[in-house]
């Protein structure tokens, strides 16, 4: 705590203002807490990750420690038990904190230890969403969305239903952290948050019925190969209203899914090749970030990351040095992917 600039009392320079509410109730409290906590870790020998500012790393000879901070929820891991215990003792003397032991629950995610690794799930959080939606006893269904979305009707929801729709869909966005199988459907629902229609509400109810039947689904993280690979795809003109495409992407570290992305493209693609090519560009940006993060974990990323694409035309556009007139309107993505291929950051291949 310190006096604000311009209000320092020369007689009592060490005094501060009396707050009407605790620091925890102020908007800047998380930032101030993070600065205080990270300052202590930096003095200890940690450094900030360039890929993720909330991740701090400690490397000294053969000792490696990692700390991930989310406000006042902290994860600590490393390869030297004695150093970890020393750090915990030092933190306990400076901050009021509690050691909860091995991770089992973190930010609404249940962490289960398995013989091959860990399993991340949000079954408790999913059950709360179903309960708030009044569908805790609904009949389950096998798929999150129909194979082909029908044209939307113009029947609008009431104000109460619209508010309930936004509340539930907003909650489902956090559920996608461990449920990539619902990411596409949640993305479709989020596109109609401003003015949901009756058909949007029906799609939401179908998704909730699917979640009811798959409430124990989660994300397995298993040990094995540490090779990074990725897949990209798109549905050309998939939106029946504005004919824009949706990009899809997922990245694997060995056999473990570690990153995925579903996003509607900003412009209308003139061909399936263009839609696939823009999906490649989106996937490449995430691969660059993942490679930088893995490098900080001291993993070898010297080899190009294999990026699988099922569209030969998009692959040709990415690797062909001749600039065609039909691709001049996507020049920025064109140059970006070409540079990544030349510098051996990615290597585009057809899926087997």
| Same domain as 253, residue 228 | yes
Res 323 pLDDT > 60: no
Structural domain harbouring 254: 224-349
* Residue 208 belongs to a domain: yes
* Residue 110 belongs to a domain: no
Do residues 129 and 224 lie in contact, with contact meaning Cβ atoms separated by under 8 Å? no
Query: pLDDT, tens digit, for every residue of 11-51?
Result: 888 887 776 666 666 677 778 888 888 899 999 899 999 88
Query: pLDDT, tens digit, for every residue of 268-319?
Result: 888 888 899 889 989 999 999 999 999 998 888 889 999 999 988 888 888 8
* Residue 7 belongs to a domain: no
At 333 the three-state DSSP class reads: helix
| Same domain as 209, residue 289 | no
User: Of the residues 213, 243, 270, which one is the last residue of a structural domain?
Assistant: 213
Q: Which helix (H) or strand (E) holds 29?
A: helix 29-44
| Same domain as 238, residue 181 | no
* Residue 11 belongs to a domain: no
Task: Give the CATH number, domain containing residue 303.
Answer: 3.30.420.10
Q: How far apart are CA 111 and CA 220, in angstroms?
A: 10
| Same domain as 85, residue 31 | yes
Q: How far apart are CA 258 and CA 120, in angstroms?
A: 11
Res 321 pLDDT > 90: no
Higher-scoring residue by pLDDT: 312, 321: 312
| Same domain as 258, residue 202 | no
Task: Check: pTM over 0.85? Answer yes or no.
Answer: no
Strands (E), 115-227: 117-121, 218-222
Do residues 116 and 222 lie in contact, with contact meaning Cβ atoms separated by under 8 Å? yes
Pairing of the two strands 73-78 and 105-106 = unpaired
- The contacts of residue 52 (CB under 8 Å, 6+ apart) are 293
The residues pairing with 315 across neighbouring beta strands, listed in sequence order, are none
| Same domain as 128, residue 88 | no
Query: pLDDT, tens digit, for every residue of 115-134?
Result: 888 999 999 999 999 999 99
Residue 49: which of 59, 60, 36, 40 has the closest Cα? 59
Q: How far apart are CA 2 and CA 28, in angstroms?
A: 14
| Same domain as 327, residue 287 | yes
Q: Which helix (H) or strand (E) holds 76?
A: strand 73-78
* Number of domain units in the chain: 3
Our separate counts of H helices and E strands in the chain read 9, 13
* Residue 5 belongs to a domain: no
User: Of the residues 74, 101, 128, which one is the last residue of a structural domain?
Assistant: 101
Q: How confident is the model at residue 150 (pLDDT cuts 50, 70, 90)?
A: low
| Same domain as 133, residue 86 | no
* Residue 93 belongs to a domain: yes
Q: What confidence score (pLDDT) does residue 351 get? A: 85
User: Of the residues 187, 213, 239, which one is the last residue of a structural domain?
Assistant: 213
């Amino acid at each position: 705590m310190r006096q604000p600039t311009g209000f320092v009392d020369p007689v009592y320079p060490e005094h501060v203002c009396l707050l009407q509410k605790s620091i925890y109730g102020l908007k800047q409290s998380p930032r101030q807490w993070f600065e205080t906590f990270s300052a202590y870790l930096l003095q200890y020998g940690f450094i900030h990750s360039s890929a993720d500012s909330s991740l701090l790393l400690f490397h000294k000879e053969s000792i490696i420690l990692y700390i991930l901070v989310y406000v006042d929820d902290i994860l600590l891991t490393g390869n030297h038990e004695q150093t970890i215990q020393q750090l915990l003792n030092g933190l306990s003397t400076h901050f009021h904190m509690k050691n909860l032991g091995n991770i089992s629950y973190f930010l609404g995610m249940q962490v289960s230890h398995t013989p091959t690794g860990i399993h991340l799930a949000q079954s408790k959080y999913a059950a709360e969403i179903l309960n708030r939606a009044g569908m805790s006893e609904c009949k389950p269904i096998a798929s999150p969305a129909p194979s082909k979305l029908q044209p939307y009707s113009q029947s609008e929801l009431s104000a109460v239903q619209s508010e309930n729709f936004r509340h539930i869909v907003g909650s489902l966005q956090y559920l996608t952290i461990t449920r990539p199988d619902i990411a596409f459907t949640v993305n479709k629902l989020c596109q109609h948050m401003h003015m949901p229609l009756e058909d949007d509400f029906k799609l939401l109810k179908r998704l909730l019925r699917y979640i009811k039947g798959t409430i124990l689904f989660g994300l397995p993280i298993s040990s094995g190969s540490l090779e990074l690979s990725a897949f990209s795809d798109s549905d050309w003109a998939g939106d029946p209203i504005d004919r824009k495409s949706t990009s899809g992407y997922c990245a694997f570290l060995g056999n473990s899914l570690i990153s995925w992305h579903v996003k509607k493209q900003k412009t209308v693609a003139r061909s399936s090749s263009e839609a696939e090519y823009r999906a490649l560009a989106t996937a490449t940006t995430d691969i660059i970030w993942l490679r930088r993060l893995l490098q900080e974990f001291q993993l070898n990323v010297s080899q190009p990351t294999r990026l699988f694409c099922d569209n030969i035309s998009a692959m040709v556009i990415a690797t062909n040095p001749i600039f065609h007139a039909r691709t001049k309107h996507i020049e920025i993505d064109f140059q970006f992917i070409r540079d990544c291929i030349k510098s051996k950051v990615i290597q585009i291949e057809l899926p087997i």
